[in-house]
A and B are shown apart, each in its own frame.
Chain A
Amino acid sequence: MSAYPVAAEFGFKAIVKELFSYKTGILAIALLLLLIGISVYAVVAIPYDEAVRLWRAGEMTWLKNPRNAAPVWIELFVGKKLPRTIILSSAKGEASKVKEGRRVVIEYSFDYSYDDFPSEITLFFSAKYGGEPPVVKVYWLRPDGEEFFLANYTLRSPDDKYYISNDFKLETRLETFIIKERLRGKPSFAITVERALFLAYTGKLEVLKGKYKMRLEATLASEGDDLDADLVVYGKVHGFTGTDHLRRPLSIALLWGTPIALAFGLTASLVTTLAQLVIAAISGWYGGKVDSLLQRITEVYMILPFLPILIMVSMFYKIDIWTLLVVVIVLSIFGPGVKTMRALVMQIKNYPFIEAALAYGASGKRIIFLYIIPRVLPLVVPGLISAVPSYVFLEAALSFLGIGDPNVPTWGKIINDAFSEGALYKGYFYWVIEPSIMLILTALAFSFLGFALDKIVNPRLKEL
Chain B
Amino acid sequence: MPLLEVRDLRLYYRTRRGVVKAVDKVSFDLEIGETLAVVGESGCGKSSMARAIIRLLPRNVHTYDGKVLMDGVNLMELDDERFRKEVRWRKISMVFQGAQNSLNPVLKVGYQVAEPLMIHYGMDKESALARAKETLKLVGIHEAFADRYPFELSGGMKQRVVIAMALVTRPKVVILDEPTSALDVITQANIMNLLKRLKGEFNLSYIFITHDIALASELADKVAVMYAGQIVEIASAETFYTNPNHPYAQKLMASVPTLRTDKKLDFIPGTPPSLINPPPGCRFHPRCPYATDKCRREEPPIVDLGEGHMVKCWLYG
Contacts and interface: CB of A to CB of B under 8 A. Distances in A.
A401 interface: no
Interface string B98-132: 10011111110000000110011000000000000
B149 interface: yes
A359 B152 contact: no
Interface residues of A, number: 25
- Which of A4, A358, A359, A366 has the most CB atoms of chain B within a 10 A radius of its CB? A359
A422 interface: no
Given A360-B116, A361-B120, A3 B144 contact: yes
B54 A359 contact: yes
A356 interface: yes
Contact of A371 (B59, B97, B104): B104
A360 B115 contact: yes
B62 interface: no
Contacts of A10: 149
A182 interface: no
A425 interface: no
A220 to B, nearest CB: 84
B197 interface: no
A353 B85 contact: no
A362 interface: yes
Given A352-B96, A352-B101, A353-B105, A360 B144 contact: no
Interface stretch (B12-20, B87-95, B264-272): B87-95
A7 B54 CA distance: 36
A2 B143 contact: yes
- Which of B97, B102, B162 has the most CB atoms of chain A within a 10 A radius of its CB? B102
B119 A7 contact: no
A58 interface: no
A407 to B, nearest CB: 44
Contact of A6 (B104, B119, B148): B148
B71 interface: no
Given A4-B144, A10-B149, A360 B104 contact: no
A357 to B, nearest CB: 7
A357 B143 CA distance: 22
Contacts of A287: 59
B101 A353 contact: yes
B297 interface: no
- Which of A10, A353, A362, A370 has the most CB atoms of chain B within a 10 A radius of its CB? A353
Contact of B102 (A7, A353, A362, A375): A353
B58 to A, nearest CB: 10
A361 B144 contact: no
A359 B56 contact: yes
B115 A362 contact: yes
Contact of A370 (B59, B96, B104, B165): B104
A288 B58 CA distance: 13
Contacts of B294: none
- Which of B103, B104, B143 has the most CB atoms of chain A within a 10 A radius of its CB? B104
A352 B145 CA distance: 22
A374 B149 CA distance: 14
Contacts of B93: 359-360
Contacts of B101: 351-353
Given A6-B144, A7-B148, A360-B88, A352 B104 contact: no
A359 B107 contact: no
A6 B56 contact: no
Nearest to B87: A361
B144 A359 contact: no
B174 to A, nearest CB: 12
B56 A355 contact: yes
Contacts of A288: 59
A249 to B, nearest CB: 50
Contacts of B148: 6-7
Given A6-B147, A360-B93, A375-B105, 15 more contacts: A6-B148, A287-B59, A352-B96, A355-B56, A356-B96, A356-B103, A356-B162, A359-B88, A359-B94, A360-B115, A361-B116, A361-B120, A362-B115, A362-B119, A370-B104
24 contacts: A2-B143, A2-B144, A3-B142, A4-B144, A4-B145, A6-B148, A7-B152, A10-B149, A353-B101, A353-B103, A355-B56, A355-B96, A356-B94, A356-B96, A356-B102, A356-B103, A359-B88, A360-B93, A361-B85, A361-B116, A361-B119, A363-B119, A370-B104, A374-B104
Interface of B: 54, 56, 59, 84-85, 88-89, 93-94, 96-98, 101-107, 115-116, 119-120, 142-145, 147-149, 152, 162, 165-166
Question: 8 smallest A-B Cβ distances: which pairs?
Answer: A2-B144, A352-B101, A4-B144, A374-B106, A356-B102, A361-B88, A360-B116, A360-B89
